[in-house]
Amino acid sequence: MRGKQPSEVMELVLDNCKATQISGLSDEFVNLTTLSMINVGLTSLEGLPKLPSLRTIDLSDNKLTGDLDKLVENCPRLYHINLCANKISDVEALTQLKKLDELAALDLFDCAVTEVADYRQKVFELLPQLKYLDGFDVNDVEAEVSDEEDEQDFGAEAGDMSDEEDVGDETGDEENGLGLSYLDSSKAFHDEDDSEDFAENPAAKNGDKSADSTDARGKKRKHDGADEDEPDSKA
């Protein structure tokens, strides 16, 4: 926490900390907007405190089967939930999420539920407030953080931070919860990839377009925990 009080923390990364239930968090984290608990080994969400400001939670690579009521009870303002690579096998396990009025983005890659017939249609019907499922909307259009509505939404939540902290801060997107999953700026994602390719890929320098022709949707559907573009750390 780098000397900060719990009420001062807005982003908390607990990836790879091993536990089957959540411990160590408390109701004091009233201004936390982003929480990442990737590959912790969670089998339940017992111990999750009330986090009234939380907008983004990454629970990928755990062992959750459902019982998501704790998210609804304690994090009522969630906007983006990442449940990739958990043990969720049926659409009904997501029913509790109907109560999250502001939920707009949900990731379920590598969960057995994605193999259910008409999976996408069923999830969108179950969660009518949802805008994006696994990075694509109901019309199979890829999510773009540049959408004015999304920027305003996240910007409003980050607005409690001073302008001095945000303007020109290279990690600003991460601190606003935008460093997780497909809600990354699509433009920033490609700009970063292009800069690396031109610096390191001779084929790209010689105009070989095939070197950069990776299917965009396939890239987005790589698991967050294994994505090389994911930041190694978040302050």
What residues contact residue 18 under an 8 Å CB cut-off, 6+ apart? 40, 41
Cross-strand pairs, 81: 57, 106
Q: For tokens 């750390």, what's the residue?
A: 233
Tokens representing 43? 């089998």
In whole angstroms, what is the distance from residue 202 CA to residue 208 CA?
9
pLDDT at residue 145, rounded to an integer: 61
In whole angstroms, what is the distance from residue 133 CA to residue 43 CA?
23
CATH number of the domain where residue 63 is located: 3.80.10.10
| Strands across the sheet containing 105-107 | 11-13, 34-36, 56-58, 80-82, 105-107, 132-133
In whole angstroms, what is the distance from residue 56 CA to residue 54 CA?
6
Query: Measuring CA to CA, how many Å separate 110 from each of 59, 88, 187, 233?
Result: 13, 9, 26, 23
Query: Measuring CA to CA, how many Å separate 22 from each of 28, 35, 175?
Result: 15, 12, 22
In whole angstroms, what is the distance from residue 70 CA to residue 48 CA?
7
CA within 13 Å, CB half, 72: 12
Contact call for residues 85 and 225 (beta carbons, < 8 A) = yes
First to last CA, the chain: 9
pLDDT at residue 43, rounded to an integer: 96
pLDDT at residue 169, rounded to an integer: 43
Give the structural domain span for 187: 1-235
- pLDDT averaged over consecutive 10-residue blocks of the chain (235 residues)? 91 95 93 97 96 98 94 97 97 96 97 97 97 96 63 44 40 41 40 44 48 41 45 43
Instruction: Name the 3-class secondary structure at 188.
Output: helix
Digit-coded pLDDT (tens) for 9-19: 999 999 999 99
Longest dimension (CA), the chain: 56
Structurally, how many domains does the chain consist of? Answer: 1
pLDDT at residue 219, rounded to an integer: 39
User: Which pTM value belongs to this model?
Assistant: 0.65
Q: Can you spell out the DSSP letters for 105-168?
A: EEE-TTSGGGGSTTHHHHHHHH-TT--EETTB-TTSPBP-TTSHHHHHHHHHHHTTS-HHHHTT
Exposure string of 51-78, with b = 16+ CB inside 10 Å and e = fewer, is: beebbbbbbbbbebbbebebbeebbbeb
